[in-house]
Structure 1
Amino acid sequence: MPQAHCYLHLALTAAAILLVVPLAAAYPWQVCGTTGSFTANSTYQANLAVLAAALPTNASSSPDLFATAVVGAVPDQVSALALCRGDTNATACSACLVTAFMDVQNMCAYDRSAAIYYDPCILYYSNLHFLSSDDNVPAASTDRINLRNVTSEPARFNRLVGALVNATADYAAYNSTRRYAAGEASFDQEYPKVYSWAQCTPDLTPAQCRGCLAGIIARMPSLFTDRVGGRFLGIRCSYRYEVNSFLHSPVTVQLAESGSAGAPAPAMEPTTVTPAVTGGGRNHSVPGTVLAIVLPTIAALLVINLLVWLCFWRTRRSQPCLACQNPTPAAGTENIEIIESMIIDISTLRAATGDFAESNKLGEGGFGAVYKGTLPDGDEIAVKRLSRCSAQGVGELKNELALVAKLQHKNLVSLVGVCLERQERLLVYEFVPNRSLDQILFDGERREQLDWAKRWSIIHGIARGLQYLHEDSQLRVVHRDLKTSNILLDMNMNPKISDFGLARLFGRDQTQGVTNHVVGTYGYMAPEYLTRGSYSVKSDVFSFGVMVLEIVTGKKHNGRHDDDGRRSPAQDILSFVWEHWTAGAVPEAIVDPRMGTGFSRSDVLRCVHIGLLCVQEDPADRPVMSSVVMMLGSDTVSLRNPSSPAFYGRNRISPTSSTSSGEYTAG
């Protein structure tokens, strides 16, 4: 592809991507707890269900849109707190909290404590009794930064923001029984207004509220210096400031341009304008209400400037430019707000990665390299840098951005942001320190780190993530490229499914799709997908089954045979496991010897049994992931006997083309 044509293609792609980013990518933000976990169908889960049924109604019917509750007895007691923002009405509050209870139990599955933040509401529950304290529960708080810097008079801007946030905090603590305030200040031509919001839970005294806010505002210099927006969200108190309006009621605090606090505006009750309730890819609109959407100026300019750049390029080539005739984005403005929060400057990412230094490279795949980086606030990130002029890479970028931003679960890798600048196409993810499962599992020495408890936890976590993709999220997603290299491990060896470039989105009633362009990794592809291009959630189940057997045996499967047609146990794990299963020599003969002897024979046997059920020839014979999770979580669930796995006893299957990495494409 000629270079000029390549850049035009990238710019057009960038414009398309900017317009399809979903609104829900900014929220929800979840903070999963570290106070232990509970099991399915336990007393603790039943107590959570009681809270989920009662708390949204209690909060939305309260004059302060606030409620707390305690259910059950120790050790299964659950304490919970729900609060809606001061400019939210009762209907939106109830809808937000109902969604919060559903989403947080997917994102922080089986955690005894968890917090979740949306624009209209927050929810926190824990097995610790926190309600008698005015502590902001640091372990459940989160801070979010707008990575764009102010370019005009940053010192004056910082002083103005400090004065505005503190004045808003004062009003929330001392002048509002709801402990809520909204503020506004004038700045300059680049950013005419700065907006703020502060709120505490209404059960705090004025002094407790102001003390809580003072504690988190004190962190502003280290978090938000020179930034055009930032927020700190906590259980007891929160604040936020932005250069674009995010408020849904008149302001109660107004500052003069000098930054000195002026007389607060008269307090007013929130209007009936209802903000969008977003979460996990959902948009909940409330019948009979009006949704007010403010178009962020900077985000609009990003899109328009991109189109203007296209026109300039095409003008120099003496070719007409359709974009010049209508520079206004065609997509709805509801998608623009999230663009601002996700766009990260190239200068920030270059600084974070040492200008994409080789020493920071985490790995490289068919569509580009991944680099480790550290943002100014100290957060570690992984930056996926797609290769230029790769048509398949463009497809990957659009797919990952559209899908991953809508998906939120503790066993899925989180998308942090995107950069489309200077011909770069960068996806920014949370950094997962132990990298991918294959780098440990198939390393002769490192796999000793994976004892049976860790391996079982990894299997269970992958299963939960897949159940969310297939059944529990608002979307139904078929991953199509599940393999050990796409399973990342965090610092506690918890698994996170990654790389959604080949994923496909299904409608609620859709069960399968067919393609004549089979793309995936040989050895993990289900037989119906490899031979006929038919894919479904059951083809993902097949890939999961292969991974289960790999995790148990410590051997990598690629589905091949020796040149003389005999099966090779070192390569054909399905046949290797099946032959030992039928001989009754499981698990002693197949378990990874590097795992040691500290494992439960019955647990290993059950995992092998489930793995074999997942790799059955007929998709109808494979279980769905919710059944797999139930089988893994309970010894009382009976398992049917498996038949021989797919490909068993066949001659070698030769793909029409394959790469050294094992990726396979058939036209």
Structure 2
Amino acid sequence: MYYDPCFLHYSDADLRASDDTALGSAFSTAYSANATAEPARFDRVVAALLNATADYAAYNSSRMRLYASGVVPFDREIPEVYSWAQCTPDLTPARCRDCLANMIQELGTPLYSVGARALGIRCSVRYENRPFLDGPVMLRLPATGAPAPSPAPALDMVPNVVTPLAAVGGGRKYSVPGMVLIVVLPTLAAANLLAGLFIWRRRRRSPARAKQPCKDTESVDSMLMDISTLRAATGDFAESNKLGEGGFGAVYKGTLPDGEEIAVKRLSKSSTQGVEELKNELALVVKLKHKNLVRLVGVCLEQQERLLVYEFIPNRSLDQILFDTEKGEQLDWGKRQRIIRGIARGLQYLHEDSQLKVVHRDLKASNVLLDADMNPKISDFGLARLFGRGQTQGVTDRVIGTYGYMAPEYLMRGNYSVKSDVFSFGVMALEIVTGRKNSDTLQSEDLLTMIWQHWTSGTVLEMMDPCMNNSFSESDARRCIQVGLMCVQENPVDRPVMSAVGMMLGSDMVSLGAPSKPASMFYTRNAGADSGNGFSISTISLNDDPKDHF
């Protein structure tokens, strides 16, 4: 298991007893975006940076660390490129360098992607066009426009590795600078020469592989589908195949030639969701893989059509069943618990467990689809935002979402974060247990206020959905409502993160805090809202700060 800050592995073989530094199957992954300006020079600069970082990790870092981080300036488009290399501490410096050479080759050539990593059992390497480490950078390469890279940094590494020696043999005295020249430089030159020859021989043996892209990289191009295929699958977008329609287009059911059922999201030609917004949704969804997220099958951008093709979810959206007095009986307490926990797992993946940190921004009952077994799948990433490492919140000048689900700080000030998604989840959890919609204008009070009043008076179970005919665990129901109330507290700091929510929902051994009064839904600011049904289609504002966009 690979996470950014740690790595876990087990095996029935003693890895330390083997001389093979490539034990196990290493894998690589790269960003889909490429360096558009001077890609050939970018390839040379990144290759030089990775090799210099590998040298530093193997030969210049602490014996118990075998670790290094580096940075090199590039150009205006990509100001700097950052690197990281590390080996397990049981390796010798030479074996560490060999292992890192394998990992660098695993990235393939040319290195046009703006970021990539190769992860192995004994060592790993990584580079990105933005900082991804908390600690100080250990190695800085100078900017260069030379046609060929230097195999290692010049003298940047020297001051950190030489310790003064008083005398060497026969009492002859040497100064520290002299020892640097005598001991360090020849060692570095020999190591770099051996490493360069090793990499050159490996690449010469497998030229075909060097031209192949990283095996785990998925590009949008690989998911392109023909318009003729989708027209045939949907009966030329027949009205009888329409599953639902939102403010920016419709969704149709279709069947591919191999029998796979699909849902085709067709943006209307008058839709204000442009190509950039479509790319936002596409670029995010294609990288996200989780059983509680809707799977993207393909995309079509032919004949002025903008089509996203998803897996077909037979039971459509949660709101069509939950808020229907007759269909609501299909959701017994066990199914409702499973739906709430599944949504929580999907959000935890988006916020904490995926390589991308994603804020959905439009989580609601109509954007949760139910498969044949009533398992939930989060859909519609048109409003989603990708957060950078260390980023905790974003701000937008124009708020677009669905009234009743938007957190107060987003609705009033345009501030969004993972905690605004937590708020939306809390609203949904309370809707699921009560069968009532928070934004129902027929109610004199919003759902959160009603539940809080019953909670403080000790009669909260009276709010449970009558469709369940009291066939639920009272302790589980109270626990679920309490977690929901903790998620909708007005101050984002008071709301739990989704990993904590999952623990609280999954075990009665986890103690819960006392929730405070939830945020009121009655605000004076108007917020855009889309019409949500089975496959609602949202837009994002073109007035958002460009930095918000993925």
Q: CA RMSD in A?
A: 3.6
Shift in alpha-carbon separation, 1:656–1:453, aligned structure 2, 3 A: closer
Shift in alpha-carbon separation, 1:605–1:518, aligned structure 2, 3 A: same
Counterpart Cα distance in 2 of 1:425 and 1:282: 28
Look up the match of 1:626: 499
Counterpart Cα distance in 1 of 2:12 and 2:233: 41
Counterpart Cα distance in 1 of 2:16 and 2:317: 44
Q: Which of 473, 478, 482 is the matching residue for 2:363?
A: 482
Letter in 2 for 1:501: G
Counterpart Cα distance in 1 of 2:513 and 2:500: 12
Structure 2 residue 299 is matched with structure 1 residue 451 = no
TM-score by length of 2: 0.61
Structure 2 residue 489 is matched with structure 1 residue 616 = yes
Shift in alpha-carbon separation, 1:336–1:350, aligned structure 2, 3 A: farther
Counterpart Cα distance in 1 of 2:399 and 2:413: 9
Contact 1:295 1:336 in 2 (8 A): no
Structure 2 residue 524 is matched with structure 1 residue 653 = yes
Residue pairs, 1:376-395, within 5 angstroms: 376-395=257-276
Identify which range, 461-470 or 420-429, moves more after superposition. 420-429
Shift in alpha-carbon separation, 1:91–1:425, aligned structure 2, 3 A: farther
Counterpart Cα distance in 2 of 1:513 and 1:476: 12
Query: Is there any run of 5+ residues in structure 2 with no aligned partner, and where?
Result: 2-6, 30-101, 119-123, 126-194, 544-550
Counterpart Cα distance in 1 of 2:491 and 2:402: 20
Structure 2 residue 26 is matched with structure 1 residue 95 = yes
Contact 2:318 2:365 in 1 (8 A): yes
Letter in 2 for 1:95: A
Q: CA deviation at 1:351?
A: 1.0
Q: Which of 429, 438, 444 is the matching residue for 1:557?
A: 438
Counterpart Cα distance in 2 of 1:535 and 1:95: 37
> Partner of 2:10: helix, strand, or coil?
helix
Counterpart Cα distance in 2 of 1:340 and 1:282: 19
Contact 2:249 2:271 in 1 (8 A): no
Shift in alpha-carbon separation, 1:353–1:658, aligned structure 2, 3 A: closer
Shift in alpha-carbon separation, 1:426–1:661, aligned structure 2, 3 A: closer
List structure 1 segments (4+ residues) > 4 angstroms apart after TM superposition. Answer: 56-63, 286-293, 333-337, 656-667
Q: Which of 10, 26, 33 is the matching residue for 1:54?
A: 10
Contact 2:427 2:438 in 1 (8 A): yes
Shift in alpha-carbon separation, 1:594–1:478, aligned structure 2, 3 A: same
Counterpart Cα distance in 2 of 1:554 and 1:282: 45
Structure number with greater CO (CA < 8 Å, separation at least 6) is 2
Structure 2 residue 252 is matched with structure 1 residue 371 = yes
> Partner of 2:425: helix, strand, or coil?
helix
The structure carrying a bigger strand percent of its residues is 1
Counterpart Cα distance in 2 of 1:555 and 1:458: 16
Q: Which of 111, 117, 121 is the matching residue for 1:284?
A: 117
Contact 1:60 1:90 in 2 (8 A): no
Look up the match of 2:472: 599
Contact 2:411 2:525 in 1 (8 A): no
Look up the match of 2:310: 429
Counterpart Cα distance in 2 of 1:656 and 1:600: 38
Q: Which of 216, 223, 239 is the matching residue for 1:342?
A: 223
Contact 2:411 2:527 in 1 (8 A): no
Identify which range, 378-387 or 388-397, moves more after superposition. 388-397
CA-to-aligned-CA distance 1:377-396 (integer Å, 9 cap, x gap): 11111111111243424343
Shift in alpha-carbon separation, 1:535–1:374, aligned structure 2, 3 A: same
Q: CA deviation at 1:420?
A: 1.1
TM-score by length of 1: 0.51
> Partner of 2:273: helix, strand, or coil?
helix
Look up the match of 1:173: none
Letter in 2 for 1:460: R
Residue pairs, 1:152-167, within 5 angstroms: none
CA-to-aligned-CA distance 1:25-60 (integer Å, 9 cap, x gap): xxxxxxxxxxxxxxxxxxxx9xxxxx9622497799
Counterpart Cα distance in 1 of 2:291 and 2:394: 27
> Partner of 2:22: helix, strand, or coil?
helix
Query: Is there any run of 5+ residues in structure 1 with no aligned partner, and where?
Result: 1-44, 46-50, 64-88, 100-269, 297-332
Counterpart Cα distance in 2 of 1:367 and 1:59: 56
Residue pairs, 1:112-131, within 5 angstroms: none
Counterpart Cα distance in 1 of 2:288 and 2:14: 29
Shift in alpha-carbon separation, 1:661–1:460, aligned structure 2, 3 A: closer
Counterpart Cα distance in 2 of 1:452 and 1:479: 27
Look up the match of 2:508: 635
Q: Among the aligned pairs, what percent are the same residue?
A: 63
Q: Which of 406, 409, 413 is the matching residue for 1:525?
A: 406
Look up the match of 1:582: 456
> Partner of 1:381: helix, strand, or coil?
strand
Structure 2 residue 435 is matched with structure 1 residue 573 = no
Letter in 2 for 1:91: A
Counterpart Cα distance in 2 of 1:420 and 1:52: 42
Shift in alpha-carbon separation, 1:354–1:61, aligned structure 2, 3 A: farther
Letter in 2 for 1:639: L
Give the number of equivalent residue pairs.
373
Counterpart Cα distance in 1 of 2:13 and 2:267: 47
CA-to-aligned-CA distance 1:166-217 (integer Å, 9 cap, x gap): xxxxxxxxxxxxxxxxxxxxxxxxxxxxxxxxxxxxxxxxxxxxxxxxxxxx
